[in-house]
Amino acid sequence: MLLEVKDLHTSFFTQAGEVKSVNGVSFELNHGEILGIVGESGSGKSVTMLSILKLLGTTGKIISGSVKFNGRELTNLTKNEVEDIRGKNIAMIFQDPMTSLNPVLTVGYQLKESLKRHKIECDYQKRAVEILERVGIVPAETRMKQYPHEFSGGQRQRIMIAMAMICNPDLLIADEPTTALDVTVQAQILDLMKELRENFNTSIILITHDLGVIAGVADRVLVMYGGHAVEQGTRHEIFYSPAHPYTHGLLRSVPDPENFKERLIPIEGQPPDLLNPPKGCPFAMRCPQAMKICLEKLPAEKILSDTHRASCWLLEKEEALKNV
C-alpha cells in the first residue's frame, strides 16, 4: 500500500466561522494504481489532496485523522520534513500550468532546478532532456532553452508533468489537469499519464469534476460530495453498478458518445453550506430519493464488495431502517 488516508477531517477557519471542508474521508492507493477522485466544486476533493501535502495555508488545519505514505505518518511531520517529500516523493500538478511555471526562466532551467532542490544525484542536462522527450516535447535540447509562453497550453501541461516526474516520485497528484484543454489534447495528456504508470509504476490520483475524464484511465474511483466520500469502487463498479444517488446523477450528466441525441440531466440544486453542514446526509437537499431519516442522520458506510462501498440509507435493509 502506498497511501492510506483514514477518517480525515480538515477545516478552514474564516471570519464567518469554521468551514468543514473534509469530513471523515478514508481511502487507499496501491503502487502503480490510478485513482480518480470525482466531485463538483466544493466537494472537498482538492482539499483532501492539499491536506496530504499539508498545503492548507494559514487558515486550514487537519482536525483529525491519519495520512500514511509508504507507512510513514504525514500529519505530524514538520514543514521542512513535508517539503522534502513534496516534489521528490509526491508531486502535484494543477489545472493552469502558468501558476506553477516561472515565466521569466527557461523550461530547462526550471527542470534542472527541481533536481538540484531535491539533491538528486544525476547528470541534470541528460535527465532533463530524457524527461522532456518522454512527454513528447522535442527536439528537447532546443526547447529547453525556450520560455513557458513559447509553448501551447497542452505543451505547457506536458512540461508540468515533466517537472513533476523529473525526480521520479512514487505518487503524482493531478488536480483537473485537462480542464482547460480541448478534447484532443485532453486525450493525449490522459494517455501520457497511463504511459507514466506503465513505464515508471507511478501511482496517480486524478482529481476531476467530470466522470467522463476518468472513464478510460482510472482503476478505481472515489466519489466525493459535501466533504464526504460517498462512494468508492472499481471503475467498472462505479460506471456499471453505481450505488449512490449522487453517482447516478453524475453519470446522467456525462455525454454518451454512442447516443448524442440523449438529453443530459443536470443535478438540480446547490451543494451544502459547509459553514453549517447538514446533520444528515449531505446530499439530502438535492436527492430525488431522500427520506425522513436522510435529513436526520448521516448514513454509515455500507460495504458492497471487497472493493465497493457507499454511504446511503437506501442501502440499508428495511428492517434496519425501522430501528434507526
Given the complex with ligand SF4, which of 177 and 272 has the nearer CB atom? 272
Question: Is position 312 an interface residue for ligand SF4 (rule: CB under 6 A)?
Answer: yes
Of 48-56, 62-70, 192-200, 312-320, which part binds ligand SF4 (CB under 6 A)?
A: 312-320
What cell numbers appear for 187 in the block? 486525450
The CA dihedral of 300, 312, 30, 191, to the nearest 10 degrees, is -160
Of 16-24, 64-72, 158-166, 306-314, which part binds ligand SF4 (CB under 6 A)?
A: 306-314
9 in Cβ contact with 22 (< 8 Å)? yes
Following DSSP, what letter does each residue of 109-122 receive, concatenated?
A: HHHHHHHHHTT--S
Question: Is position 304 an interface residue for ligand SF4 (rule: CB under 6 A)?
Answer: no
Given the complex with ligand SF4, which of 185 and 293 has the nearer CB atom? 293
Question: Is position 27 an interface residue for ligand SF4 (rule: CB under 6 A)?
Answer: no
Helix (H, G, I), strand (E, B) or coil at 302: strand
Given the complex with ligand SF4, which of 1 and 324 has the nearer CB atom? 324
Question: Is position 225 an interface residue for ligand SF4 (rule: CB under 6 A)?
Answer: no
Helix (H, G, I), strand (E, B) or coil at 24: strand
Of 98-106, 139-147, 210-218, 311-319, which part binds ligand SF4 (CB under 6 A)?
A: 311-319
Q: How far apart are CA 217 and CA 197, in angstroms?
A: 10
Question: Is position 205 an interface residue for ligand SF4 (rule: CB under 6 A)?
Answer: no
Following DSSP, what letter does each residue of 136-176 receive, concatenated?
A: T--SHHHHTTS-GGGS-HHHHHHHHHHHHHTT--SEEEEES
Q: Report, in Å, the least distance between residue 286 CB and ligand SF4.
A: 8
The footprint of ligand SF4 on residues 258-297 (CB under 6 A) is 281, 283-284, 287, 289-291, 294
Question: Is position 128 an interface residue for ligand SF4 (rule: CB under 6 A)?
Answer: no
177 Cβ partners below 8 Å, 6+ apart?
A: 93, 94, 95, 157, 160, 161, 189, 193, 206
Given the complex with ligand SF4, which of 142 and 241 has the nearer CB atom? 241
Applying CB under 6 A, the site for ligand SF4 has a residue count of 14
Question: Is position 69 an interface residue for ligand SF4 (rule: CB under 6 A)?
Answer: no
Question: Is position 39 an interface residue for ligand SF4 (rule: CB under 6 A)?
Answer: no
Quick note: the x/- pattern for ligand SF4 over 226-265, rule CB under 6 A, is ------------------xx--------------------
- E strands along the chain, which residues? 3-14, 17-29, 34-38, 60-69, 72-73, 90-93, 171-175, 203-208, 220-225, 228-234, 302-303, 309-310
- The CA–CA distances, whole Å, from 170 to 72, 78, 178, 259 equal 14, 20, 21, 39
Q: How far apart are CA 274 and CA 284, in angstroms?
A: 14
111: how many CB neighbours lie within 10 A of its CB?
Answer: 22
One residue of 44, 169, 177, 299 binding ligand SF4 per CB under 6 A:
299
Question: Is position 215 an interface residue for ligand SF4 (rule: CB under 6 A)?
Answer: no
Nearest one of 287, 312, 316, 311 to 229, comparing CA atoms: 311
Q: Report, in Å, the least distance between residue 280 CB and ligand SF4.
A: 7
Question: Is position 223 an interface residue for ligand SF4 (rule: CB under 6 A)?
Answer: no
Q: Report, in Å, the least distance between residue 247 CB and ligand SF4.
A: 9
User: Which chain residues interact with ligand SF4 by CB under 6 A?
Assistant: 244-245, 281, 283-284, 287, 289-291, 294, 299, 312-314
